Amino acid sequence: MLKQQDRLDPLFQAFADTTRRAMVDRLSKGPASVSELAEPLAMSLSAVVQHLQVLEAGGLVSSQKVGRVRTCRLEPLAMGTAETWIADRLCAWEQRLDRLAEFLAEDRDPDRANDHPRQRSTS
Amino acid sequence: MLKQQDRLDPLFQAFADTTRRAMVDRLSKGPASVSELAEPLAMSLSAVVQHLQVLEAGGLVSSQKVGRVRTCRLEPLAMGTAETWIADRLCAWEQRLDRLAEFLAEDRDPDRANDHPRQRSTS
DNA sequence: CTGTTGTTTAAGCATATACTTAAGTATAGC
DNA sequence: GCTATACTTAAGTATATGCTTAAACAACAG
C-alpha cells in the first residue's frame, strides 16, 4: 500500500487560489461545463482551463467530454482527504492539551498521580 | 465585518508543501524552536525559516522569541478555518445529492410529488 | 459545405517559489 | 571580553505559476 502523501502537495495547491476555490464552490452545487465555470470569472477561457488542470491534478475535480462539451464534477473523496489531514493534526493538538490539563490536575491533586504513571519534577 | 476570504490564499498555500506539512505535523505535537523544527529536515536552516514565514503568513503558526530562541506553536483557529472551508463545500455537495435522491424518489412514487413543489418534465 | 459554439493547444511573459551560500546580529556561558 | 549557539538577512538562481493572445480543432445547426 503506497502512501498517498505524495499527492497532498498538488491537492492543497489546488485550494491555494481564489479562482480555483470559486470553481470548487460552484462545483459543490453541481456539475458544470467549462464555459459555465468560466462565465463568472474575470479572465480568459484559456486561464480557466489551466486552473481546471490544476484542480484535476490535485484530484479535486474530474471531467468527461460528451460531444463538444466537457462536464466537470467535484471529487468528494479528495475533498475528504484534505479535510482529514487537517482534522488529524487538530486532533493531535487537542489531545496534547488534554494531557497537559491532566498533568496539571495531578499536580493539584497528588493522590491521583498513579492513575497514569508519569514523571513529575521532584526538585 | 471584513471577509477573511482574502486570507484563504496564503492559508491553503501554507499547506501546499511537504516540508511545511511536516512542520505543522511536528507542531501539532507541541511547540518547538526553529532548530528543533529544522532538525529532521534535509535543508538549510535558512530554508526552514523561509517555510516558517510562509506558515506565519498563512496564520497557521505563531512564534515568539525569548532570549535567542524562537518558539513556534500551531494556531488551531487557522487550521479550523481551512478545515471548515472544505467541510462546507463537501456539505453543499452532499445536500445536492440528497435533493437529487428526493427528486428521483418522487419520480418513482408520484403520490409524494406534492411534498416538495417542484417542476417535473411533462414531455 | 459553412459558420458558430465549446473547447484545446502553443507560445510568451511577469512574478512568485523553493531553495542555496555567505555574512550579520543577538544572547548565553565561561 | 571571547566564543559557541540560535537565529536573521541578503543576494542569487532555477523552476513553477498565473495569466495573455493567437491559432487550432471538433461537433452541431442550418
CB pairs under 8 A between A and B: 89
Asked if pLDDT for residue B60 goes beyond 50, the answer is: yes
* Nearest residue in A to B97, CA atom: A30
User: Measured between alpha carbons, how far is B13 from A119 in angstroms, rounded to an integer?
Assistant: 40
Beta strand A69-74 with B61-66: parallel, antiparallel or unpaired?
unpaired
- What mean pLDDT do residues B42-59 have? 97
**Taking all atoms of strand D, which protein residues have CB closer than 7 Å?**
A 13, 16-17, 19, 43-44, 46-47, 50-51, 54, 67-68; B 33-36, 45-46, 49-50, 65, 68-70
Chain mean pLDDT for chain B: 86
Asked if pLDDT for residue A24 goes beyond 80, the answer is: yes
Q: Report which residue is nearest nucleotide D20 when distances run from CA to C1'.
A: A44
Residue type, B103: F
Confidence class for position A122, pLDDT limits 50, 70, 90:
very low
| Half-sphere exposure at residue A57, Cβ-oriented, CA atoms within 13 angstroms | 14
| pLDDT given at position B97 | 79
User: Measured between alpha carbons, how far is B2 from A93 in angstroms, rounded to an integer?
Assistant: 28
Cell triple for residue A120? 513529575
Q: Which of A31-40, A107-116, B2-11, B79-88 has the lowest mean pLDDT?
A: A107-116
